[in-house]
Amino acid sequence: MKRLGLDNESEGAINGDGPVDNGNEEKKNEASAVPKLFLLKGLNTDSGNFATPASFDGIEKFKDVRDEDALFGCIAECRVTKSPAEINLLRYTNWISSMAHVEVMRACKPGMMEYQLESLFQHHTYTHGGCRHMSYTCICACGPNGNILHYGHAGRPNSRLLTSSDIALLDMGAEYHCYASDITCSFPVSGTFTKDQRAVYESVLAAQVRVMRELKLGVSWTETHRDAEREILKGLIECGVLTLGGGTDINTVIEEMLDVDLGAIFMPHGMGHLIGIDTHDVGGYATGTPQRSPRPGLRKL
DSSP 220-255: -HHHHHHHHHHHHHHHHHHTTSS--TT-S-HHHHHH
Percent of the chain residues past pLDDT 90, beyond the cut: 63
| Residue 287 confidence (pLDDT) above 80 | no
Q: How confident is the model at residue 6 (pLDDT cuts 50, 70, 90)?
A: very low
* Better-scored residue on pLDDT, 40 or 6: 40
pLDDT at 132 over 70: yes
Comparing C-alpha atoms, which of 136, 137, 43, 135 is closest to residue 89? 135
User: Mind listing the pLDDT tens digit for each residue in 63-97?
Assistant: 889 999 889 989 988 999 999 999 999 999 999 99
Closest C-alpha among 102, 110, 236, 228 to residue 172: 102
Q: Are 206 and 231 in contact (CB under 8 A)?
A: yes
